[in-house]
Amino acid sequence: MNVLGIESSCDETAAAVVADGRRILSSVVASQDAVHAPYGGVVPELASRRHVEVIVPVVERALADAGVKLGDLDAIAVTQGPGLVGSLLVGCSLAKALAWVTARPLVGVNHLEGHIFAVFLEPPAPEYPFLALVVSGGHTALYHAPAPLRYELVGQTRDDAAGEAFDKVAKLLGLGYPGGPAIERTARSGDPAGVPFPLAQMTDQRADFSFSGIKTSVSLHVRCHAPLAAAAVADIAASFQATVVKMLVRQTVKAAARLAVKRVVLTGGVAANTALRAALAAEAAERGITVHVPSMRLCTDNAAMIAAAGTARLAAGERAALTMNAIPDLAL
Ligand code: KG4
Ligand code: ZN
């Protein structure tokens, strides 16, 4: 079963062909980083325009790389939400047109479920139940997945997403966009204990997160100590990263213990962060928890994960009508 996946929820235009929901035959990702870098963040209108320009060549390339023709496809899966409405519409429109001309089934995929399904593209696949920490530029949430295609929200950010915090702090430090990889690079030469940033504590039992406090602390610190030498910038980057990692790992292992879950999936753009991967792996190992993390290229936005999730939804009998539409605030 060959499924074409299409992803255009934010600033990456992506298409992929995945066989049986597991085997990646092709995965093409056209990044818009250069378009948005001058603004230090994604400009929605520019993102949709760029998607319109590149989406057809991206799909053609994915088909060519996979060595399949449109007629060889069994179905088409597209990100329906959450995301930027103008961006989502470009992917949904093309997916509907392709489904119509090929007379193949269409399925709408939740972008966050796509991130979770990235782990099924590389063995070993996690067994259910598991806990999934989805950390991206737009989302930071913990889901309990008791069985296939079922999710219970265990905790989420009360303000910024973790990736958003990385992007904003990188901007404050003049490190450029996207911020996550820039902070990670800069942090390598810094002291993670150099600046004591506050760790957000939840007073209730929820496994929620908060990143606006640390962002404000970094902003105040930068203003108090300007101009900053390169070594000071590295210390701030390393300390910020260490604090965010600690918050993410602490809430995740606490929730895993409370739910008695022995498997954790770490996914989304921020899961590409080496410090986060290492810290979660270490804490989990101490507690007998297995961690599943997609390889770097499958952590950040891609269409193979959308095809994988779409395949599972199709197998469960789901079909989208050609009247389906983008849902910018689609919940998982
Ligand atoms: O999943 P993703 O590609 O797009 C969304 O769905 O949002 O995630 C993008 C986010 C950005 O905020 C980016 O700064 C962050 O992931 N990111 C990282 C790293 N690589 C990407 N954050 C920390 N460390 C990284 N290495
Ligand atoms: Zn994403």
pLDDT tens digits along 131-176? 999 999 999 999 999 999 999 999 999 999 999 999 999 999 999 9
Q: How many CB atoms lie within 10 A of CB 278?
A: 12
Q: Is the dihedral of CA 307, 313, 317, 323 positive or negative?
A: negative
> Does 235 score more than 80 pLDDT?
yes
CATH class of 2-117+299-315: alpha beta
Query: What distance in angstroms lies between residue 268's CA and the mean position of ligand 1's atoms?
Result: 7
Task: Give the number of residues written for the chain.
Answer: 332
Mean pLDDT over residues 268-277, rounded?
97
- Which residue owns the Cα nearest ligand 1 atom 18? 180
Of the candidates 127, 114, 110, 121, which has an alpha carbon nearest to the alpha carbon of residue 295?
Answer: 121
Q: Please state which CATH number belongs to domain 126-293.
A: 3.30.420.40
Query: What distance in angstroms lies between residue 163's CA and the mean position of ligand 1's atoms?
Result: 5
Mean pLDDT over residues 277-292, rounded?
98
| Spatial separation of the C-alpha atoms in residues 306 and 113, rounded to whole Å | 8
Instruction: Kindly give the number of the ligand 1 atom that is closest to the alpha carbon of 272.
Output: 26
Query: What distance in angstroms lies between residue 300's CA and the mean position of ligand 1's atoms?
Result: 6
The pTM assigned to this predicted structure is: 0.96
Name the segment(s) of the chain with CATH classification 3.30.420.40: 2-117+299-315, 126-293
- The predicted-structure confidence for 29-46, as pLDDT tens digits, reads as follows 999 999 998 988 899 999
**Cβ < 6 A, ligand 1 pocket:** 10, 136-138, 163, 166-167, 178-181, 184, 268-270, 272-273, 300-301
Largest CA distance in the chain: 62
Instruction: Kindly give the number of the ligand 1 atom that is closest to the alpha carbon of 164.
Output: 12
Instruction: Kindly give the number of the ligand 1 atom that is closest to the alpha carbon of 241.
Output: 23
**Higher per-residue confidence, 266 vs 226:** 266
Mutate to test the pocket of ligand 1, among 166, 185, 266, 280 (most ligand atoms within 8 A of CB): 166
Confidence of residue 199 (pLDDT cuts 50, 70, 90): confident
Geometric angle at alpha carbon 222, from 219 and 227, rounded to 5°: 150
Instruction: Kindly give the number of the ligand 1 atom that is closest to the alpha carbon of 179.
Output: 14
As beta bridge partners, residue 142 has 133, 155
Give the Å distances, CA to CA, from 266 to 11, 129, 141, 279, 298. 21, 14, 11, 12, 11
Mean pLDDT over residues 16-27, rounded?
98
DSSP conformation letters of 202-234: -SSS---B--HHHHHHHHHHHHHHPSPPHHHHH
Mean pLDDT over residues 307-314, rounded?
98
Q: What pLDDT shows up at residue 98?
A: 98
* Mean of per-residue pLDDT scores for the chain: 96
